[in-house]
Each structure stands twice: as structure tokens, then as C-alpha cells.
Amino acid sequence: MEFEKRVVPELRAGLSILEPFRLPEDLMQIRAIHPQAVQQSKAVEIVDLQIRGVHGNELQVRLYKPRHADIMKRPTLLWIHGGGLILGSPEADDQLCIDFVSAADCIVVSPNYRLAPEFPYPAGLEDCYSTLQWIFASAEVWGMDCHRIAVGGASAGGGLAAALTLLARDRHGPGIMFQMPLYPMLDHRNVTPSSYEITHPSVWNRANNLEAWRMYLGQELTEGVPIYASPGLATDLSDLPAAYMCVGELDLFRDETLDYVTRLARDGVEVEFHLYPGCYHASEHVVPEADISQRIRSEYIQSLVRAYRKTDF
């Protein structure tokens, strides 16, 4: 009850909407729940494509682009869906990706990356890297500006976005000009105060987070975990793209996000950060009509708009 008292009043009803579940026993049941269909937009077209992954695997990507045709090259957002590295699909973020396209006049590409435990690290991250390479290689065909590529994601998608910027930097891969890891899943160690503090059964909590990390890392990575699996381990965050990050005060990932933001700034990376009092994990999607939810969503969408405007020419 103490947790609920700390939640912003307009978000408390969301705690009764969220169905508690336990990993790993409820994994297949949760996966069977399909996201609600989003009404088609007259302004944004959605295209599903098959591309080839780094290791020859087929990978579906979902592309969102303005319907009006012109010759202008548009900035591109590689958006990575959340779901604890074990759940989710691009379709769950259809409305958000449509909103990104509408607000920033950009193209969004979202990979249906492979999930753990069937495909542990590095499968999902390599799929994201394959998508980044595909964007760079296919820019002319789809009207994408390969000099204005941003990456972003929420929760597990935010952790993968952070990992992808590290991987692209160290592999000298395609350039990324902006990163947007929102309340990201960054650190497999689960040693921060907030990782012990947030145990409410209706929100993403310590027990499920521990199990999700175990499934993602698999049997091979009990020690010597690389920074690309768990970006919170990275000690050198220099030469990374400018960042926008946010997290709720009552989010399991609060403290690892705060630590990452601090170290980005310390290593010379331009970073904007927002901490939202009384908000739990992904609360803006649970109670989207709440004033605080609309503000959270607007602020990260506008951060993308501002990032692209900085590079207009």
C-alpha cells in the first residue's frame, strides 16, 4: 500500500488495470496477448519488410513513413520495442511510431528482433545492428537520410538502444546522431536501491527483472558479461551520440538510469534527463489520458524533433 500512496493520483487506477504475472511460468500466457489494433492513419503508411540479418537469419522490420510522396530525404528513427527482452513486437508501438512520424516528419524503422529465452544474447542486439546497417544501405531506396539516424526505445528497447550505440561506436559502424533510451533496462546486476525498492506485483518488478535477465543472458553468460549485453557495465561512454533519457521516480530502473545519465555527462556526452515524480514503469502507456502521461510522451517526442532540427541543412 505504501507504493500506491506514492503514485500520482491520476495514475493509481492503472495499477488495477495491469495484470500481475510471474516469470518464467506466465511467459507464454503473456506472449499470447496481442496488442490492440491501431486505427490506420491517413498521413502515415506502415510497411512490413523482410531483411537479412548479420548471421543470415531473416528479420522482419516494420517501416512507418509519411504517405505523401516527394523527393526529400527524411531523418530516420530506429525504434526498438520493449518487453523485458522476452516479450513484445513492433505492432505494440504502432501509435507511438505514427506519432513520431507525424511530429518529426521522419521515417521510423522498428525490428521484430529475436527474443529470449529461445534466442539469448546477442541475437536481439545483432538484429538491431542489422537493422541499422539496412537503414544505411537502403537510404536511397526509401528516402532516408543516412546522416540523420537516431535510435530509441523504451524499457528493454531502451537498453538495446544504449547497447546499440556502444556497439556501433566500437565496430565503427553506421553513424548515429541521437539516442533516446527511455527508462532503459541497462544493468543485469540488479544492485541499485530502486531495484530492491520496487516489488509491487502489478508493475515491472525485481523478481521478473531478475528472471528476464537470466533468460536473456542464457547459460553461457554467468560471468564476464559484455557491455553490449548489459550497457550499465560500460566504463567508457565517450564519443556516443547526444542523448535524451527519462524515468519515473517509482521505476525499478530509476537508479541505473540516473547513474548512466551522470556518466554520459561526465564523459562529455550532451544529455537531457527528466525524472517524473510519482510515476511507475511505462505509466504513460498504462494511463495515456492522464496529464502527466501526455506530458511525458510529448517531451520525448519533442526531444526527437529538436535533435533533427539541429541537423537541418
Which residues are known to be catalytic?
155, 251, 281
* CB hemisphere CA count around 64 (13 angstroms): 29
**Burial classification of residue 39, based on how many CB atoms lie within 10 Å of its CB (0-12 exposed, 13-18 middle, 19 or more buried):** exposed
CA 125 to chain centre: 12
- What CA–CA distance (Å, rounded) separates 100 from 93? 11
Phi, psi of 117 (to 5 degrees): -85, -10
Decide: helix, strand or coil at residue 36: coil
How many angstroms separate the first and last alpha carbons of the chain? 53
- What CA–CA distance (Å, rounded) separates 16 from 21? 13
Decide: helix, strand or coil at residue 205: coil
Please name the amino acid found at residue 75. Answer: P
Residue 216's CB: how many other CB atoms inside 10 A? 27
Among residues 119, 122, 83, 152, the alpha carbon closest in space to that of 227 is found at 122
Residue 281 is classified by DSSP as: T
Residue 127 host element (H or E): helix 123-137
Among residues 83, 121, 72, the alpha carbon closest in space to that of 209 is found at 83
CA 166 to chain centre: 15
- What CA–CA distance (Å, rounded) separates 12 from 5? 8
- What CA–CA distance (Å, rounded) separates 280 from 296? 12
Phi, psi of 101 (to 5 degrees): -60, -45
The owner of cell 538484429 is: 127
